[in-house]
Amino acid sequence: MNEESKQQSKTKLGFIGVGVMGGPMAANLLRAGFELSVFDQARSQCEKLVPLGASIADSPRQVASASDVVITMLPDTPIVEQALFAENGVVEGLKPDAMVIDMSTISPLGTVEFGKRLAALGCEMLDAPVSGGPAGAIGGTLGIMVGGSREVFDRCMPIFQAMGKTITYTGPLGNGQKTKLVNQLVGATNLLGAVEGLRLARRAGLDVPTTLKAVGSGVANSWMLANLIPMILKEDFAPGFSIRLQHKDLKLLNEWTDSLGGDFPAAEMVFSLFSKAMEMGLQGQGNQGLINIWKP
């Protein structure tokens, strides 16, 4: 074990929520030399990490009792609140001067409230939502957007470097979530443009591969066009990032923009379309399943 790994192994981490995203993120922390305690409602998810050196906790409280830094990667704001503050939650086991890093995508307003409640207990909090999907989580190449104290951010940099490639300090607590919601707005709008472009090409009788090659070679290219449209052409709607989670994020986006006075028409439009996809029962499909709103 090199000197850096020895130092990292002294920092005891806890990870709550080791599913599709959290599981590979936790695995990368273990590979980087961190000691890790894990908890998930699905114990089988935790068991996958035991061969890499993880210990399994029976509750968020037990995770906190064993950890200097507790990381949460959970589906939504209420579940994060429950993990932190409910009976047998993180706050019941926090060590003095412990830190909480929430890497979920949740409400910016909720994040600030949680931070105040933790600060009253002497605990620092960072919000650090991620972008890059399961592939980024597995490869350790996530984009991580971090809000909170700059000094705490700097101290936690080795943790972030084990999971991500582009790590950006965005300012005070809550700014990480706000930055992630800007990301979701731009991404969902790009997806809608790519889907509608494909539909237009088909209706016009254009050769689709030729059209996509031409469009993708210029300024209209995007990650969505390059990665999700080929999946649509193969009728592959398996979720990397599901319509359900995108809808949740766009709901958060619209709640936030409403608090800023509204007038964000693209945010309203993509939320409306993802709401329709949910109503049609498409929630389990990947984002690319948005095109099935218009399926004959």
Residues lower than pLDDT 70 in the chain:
1-9
Alpha-carbon dihedral angle through residues 215, 216, 217, 222, given to the nearest 10 degrees = 120
Alpha-carbon dihedral angle through residues 111, 112, 113, 116, given to the nearest 10 degrees = 120
Q: What does the alpha-carbon distance between residue 205 and residue 153 come to, in Å, rounded to a whole number?
A: 53
Residue 296's pLDDT is what? 77
Residue 1's pLDDT is what? 43
Q: Residue 201: beta bridge partners?
A: none
Q: Which of 10, 95, 178, 180 is catalytic?
A: 180
Residue 121's pLDDT is what? 94
Please report the beta strands in the chain, taking only residues with DSSP state E, as ranges in sequence order: 12-16, 35-39, 55-56, 69-72, 99-102, 124-127, 130-131, 142-147, 164-171
| Cβ atoms within 10 Å, residue 205 | 7
Ordered domains of the chain (ranges, CATH): 3-172 (3.40.50.720), 179-294 (1.10.1040.10)
Residue 9's pLDDT is what? 53
Residue 11's pLDDT is what? 87
Residue 4's pLDDT is what? 52
Q: What does the alpha-carbon distance between residue 166 and residue 145 come to, in Å, rounded to a whole number?
A: 8
* pLDDT, tens digit, 9 for 90 and up, residues 5-52: 545 557 899 999 999 999 999 999 999 999 999 999 999 999 999 999
Q: Does 295 participate in catalysis according to the annotation?
A: no
Q: Judge if pTM exceeds 0.75.
A: yes
* pLDDT, tens digit, 9 for 90 and up, residues 170-192: 999 999 999 999 999 999 999 99
Residue 37's pLDDT is what? 98
Q: What does the alpha-carbon distance between residue 269 and residue 254 come to, in Å, rounded to a whole number?
A: 10
